[in-house]
Chains A and B, each alone.
Chain A
Amino acid sequence: KQEVTQIPAALSVPEGENLVLNCSFTDSAIYNLQWFRQDPGKGLTSLLLIQSSQREQTSGRLNASLDKSSGRSTLYIAASQPGDSATYLCAVRYAGKSTFGDGTTLTVKP
């Protein structure tokens, strides 16, 4: 069964801190892994996409890593800001569909 787990479910940090969000998956036969951001009551904004053959991707203050053999991905956010407060979702793409974790809700306090 293809399961995706995100830990922690919620995280609160002071502004300026670096932080790591975790995503684990049970089936390593993935095509890619995509990190999304979702603001309350809004849709999904794609942050980073890592192909199965890649180890990491970077965009600005965000860095995502992928270890397919261990079934893990991390999203690293540097120098967090209050505007980073949102729910972060990882989606693992398999043949035909993507499976989502339940997300990590991040609160960055000024």
Chain B
Amino acid sequence: NAGVMQNPRHLVRRRGQEARLRCSPMKGHSHVYWYRQLPEEGLKFMVYLQKENIIDESGMPKERFSAEFPKEGPSILRIQQVVRGDSAAYFCASSWNRDSGEKLFFGSGTQLSVL
């Protein structure tokens, strides 16, 4: 039973390009959460999605960032026109149920570097 899979592991982009980060949740999980970790900081919540729905995007920057979790396929975090300040580790987590007491399972993250 594979865990949460994120790819790519490392992504290098030049300023102004687009970054697409993918997350496949654990089998059977329909809830996905994206977090960002800036250098020397903790994890900051970005967005929570359920299949085909954005439930909570209170942590998403207002511009350039978007997320989706289609009926089929992985969840995608998309960053348009990247800037150097977007350089960070982006982690995805999944769970089976929203409000149960179960644990979150995290992927290994995508390290985004903007040149």
Binding site for B on A (CB under 8 A): 6, 31-32, 34, 36, 41-44, 46, 49, 51-52, 89, 91, 93, 95-103
Whether A31 touches B45, Cβ cut-off 8 Å, given contacts A46-B105, A96-B56, A97-B33, is no
Contact yes or no, B56 A97, CB < 8 A:
yes
Residues of chain A within 8 A (CB-CB) of B98 are 95-96
Min Cβ gap B4→A in Å is 9
The stretch from B14-22, B65-73, B75-83, B106-114 touching chain A is B106-114
Q: Which of the residues A31, A49, A96, A102 comes within 8 Å of B42, measured between beta carbons?
A: A102
Q: Which of the residues B45, B102, B106, B111 comes within 8 Å of A44, measured between beta carbons?
A: B106
Contact yes or no, A43 B35, CB < 8 A:
no
A-B contact pairs, 24 of them (CB 8 A): A6-B42, A32-B101, A34-B104, A36-B106, A42-B109, A43-B107, A43-B109, A44-B91, A46-B106, A91-B43, A93-B101, A93-B104, A96-B55, A96-B98, A97-B56, A98-B45, A98-B93, A98-B104, A99-B45, A100-B35, A100-B42, A100-B44, A101-B42, A102-B42
Tell whether B99 is near chain A: CB-to-CB under 8 Å: yes
Contact with A along B84-110 (1 / 0, CB 8 A): 000000010100001111111111110
Contact yes or no, A31 B48, CB < 8 A:
no
Binding site for A on B (CB under 8 A): 33, 35, 41-45, 48, 55-56, 91, 93, 98-109, 111
Does more than half of chain A's interface fall in helix, strand or loop, or is it mixed?
A: strand
Contact yes or no, B45 A97, CB < 8 A:
yes
Contact yes or no, A95 B104, CB < 8 A:
no
With a 10 A CB-CB cut-off, give which of B35, B43, B56, B107 has the most chain A CB atoms.
B43
